[in-house]
């Protein structure tokens, strides 16, 4: 009998097999590479607001954000709507595949891990301060720190539409009705709200 291997085929006995430690190392490296690849894709995609705008239901929110000053301060939706600890950021990006499936299947699912911006989001370095004692115009007494620490309010409790103005009835500045929810009994006292009660409600004087 002819024991010579057929042309084009090699003797399998000449191919060295991976040892058990090397095989485990190879499988481990492949798993790490696969996980990194699965993470990099949503990481790159979700790092821009386009990811949120791709969902038709979020388009109005994206447009209102583009028209607000927050477009310059927060280049990504994740900056305000996802907790900034490493675990939450990693988990959200992995769970983004769930949203892709929801878009394809038409399922009505809320994005996993997203939240209404909290006090930490608004008052991190380079953003807003809790040390403000009056309104932007300087006419109303609004101790922001007291509202947060004593009344346990979030910024969006009063400034509901600060980054998404025009969505529904949302407004950037709190209305009188917003203040009335907590201060109804004090609303008749002009000095409770106004820095200068004598000029409260009067139009500004004309200067020539």
Per residue in 149-207, pLDDT (tens digit) is 888 888 888 887 777 877 765 667 788 888 888 888 888 888 888 888 776 555 444 43
Residue 139: pLDDT band by 50, 70, 90 thresholds? confident
Per residue in 8-55, pLDDT (tens digit) is 555 555 556 667 777 788 788 888 888 777 777 777 777 778 777 777
Q: Which residues contact 5 (CB under 8 A, 6 or more apart)?
A: 11
Q: Using an 8 Å Cβ cutoff, are 147 and 133 in contact?
A: no
Task: State how far the Cα of 168 lies from the Cα of 85, in Å rounded to an integer.
Answer: 31
Per residue in 85-126, pLDDT (tens digit) is 888 888 877 777 777 777 677 666 666 667 777 777 787 767
Predicted confidence at residue 206, as pLDDT, reads: 41
Q: How far is CA 141 from CA 113, 130, 145, in A?
A: 36, 13, 12
Per residue in 67-78, pLDDT (tens digit) is 887 887 777 888
Task: State how far the Cα of 119 lies from the Cα of 122, in Å rounded to an integer.
Answer: 5
Predicted confidence at residue 68, as pLDDT, reads: 81
Predicted confidence at residue 204, as pLDDT, reads: 43
Domains located in the chain, CATH noted: 25-115 (1.10.3820.10), 120-199 (no CATH)
């Amino acid at each position: 009998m002819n024991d010579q291997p057929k042309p084009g085929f090699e003797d399998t006995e000449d191919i060295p097999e991976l040892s058990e430690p090397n095989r485990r190392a190879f499988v481990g490296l492949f798993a790490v590479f696969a996980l990194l690849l699965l993470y990099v894709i949503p990481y790159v995609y979700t790092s821009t607001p386009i990811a949120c705008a791709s969902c038709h239901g979020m388009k109005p929110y994206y447009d209102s954000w583009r028209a607000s000053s927050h477009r310059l301060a927060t280049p990504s939706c994740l900056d305000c709507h996802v907790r900034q600890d490493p675990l939450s950021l990693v988990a959200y990006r992995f769970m983004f595949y769930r949203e892709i499936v929801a878009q394809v299947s038409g399922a009505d699912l809320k994005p996993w891990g997203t939240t209404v911006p909290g006090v930490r989001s608004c008052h991190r370095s380079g953003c807003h301060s809790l040390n403000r004692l009056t309104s932007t115009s300087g006419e109303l007494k609004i101790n922001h720190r007291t509202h947060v620490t004593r009344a346990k309010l979030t910024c969006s409790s009063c400034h509901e539409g600060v980054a998404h103005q025009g969505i529904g009835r949302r407004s950037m500045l709190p209305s009188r009705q917003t203040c009335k929810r907590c201060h109804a009994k004090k609303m008749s006292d002009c000095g409770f709200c106004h820095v200068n009660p004598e000029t409260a409600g009067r139009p500004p004087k004309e200067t020539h």
